[in-house]
Amino acid sequence: MLFALLVHGGPGGVASSLAALRFAETLLAEGHAISRVFFHGDGAAHGNAMLVTPPTETDLPARWQSLARQHGVELLACVGSATRRGVLDAREAARQGLPVSSLREGFELAGLGQLVDAALRCDRLVSFGG
């Protein structure tokens, strides 16, 4: 089965974010596929390259990056949610007149149309948090 995931919770100690990651890992281990993970609202902070995770907590963004590299999963941060949280790719940073991007490697900024596209193309869209 082909899945898409929607993650609303941020990476800092939010149970729904960890649940989403564990769900994704379990799906892939059982032979399912994930086309996209769309991070919306506070979830867009997963894409922040400036985020530092304390050593006593799970580094969720790094684990999402690893999962994406290993399984070819797209990690998309909602452009509206991300920019409100200071997460900018090079193009958006230039558009805003800022000198540097802050988007974590492996993540892309995307509009809600990408979420709709994922929902239309997958067998199941599963939402976490919200």
Confidence (pLDDT) at 6 = 98
Cα separation, 97 vs 77, whole angstroms = 20
Cα separation, 24 vs 22, whole angstroms = 5
Count: domains in the chain? 1
* Those residues with Cβ within 8 angstroms of residue 43's Cβ, 6 or more apart along the chain or in another chain: 7, 8, 9, 10, 17, 77, 78, 81, 129
Residues in the chain: 130
pTM comes to 0.95
Confidence (pLDDT) at 11 = 92
Q: What is the mean pLDDT of the chain?
A: 95
Per-residue confidence at 87, pLDDT binned at 50, 70, 90?
A: very high
Confidence (pLDDT) at 130 = 67
Cα separation, 40 vs 113, whole angstroms = 12
Catalytic residue among 4, 27, 67, 78: 78
- Domain CATH for 12: 3.40.1260.10
The domain in which residue 28 lies consists of: 2-128
C-beta of residue 55 within 8 angstroms of C-beta of residue 96: no
C-beta of residue 89 within 8 angstroms of C-beta of residue 106: no
- Which helix (DSSP H) or strand (DSSP E) does residue 18 occupy? helix 15-29
Q: CB 61: neighbour CB atoms within 10 A?
A: 24
- Does the annotation count 78 as an active-site position? yes
Q: What is the pLDDT of residues 7-39, one digit of tens each?
A: 999 998 679 999 999 999 999 999 999 999 999
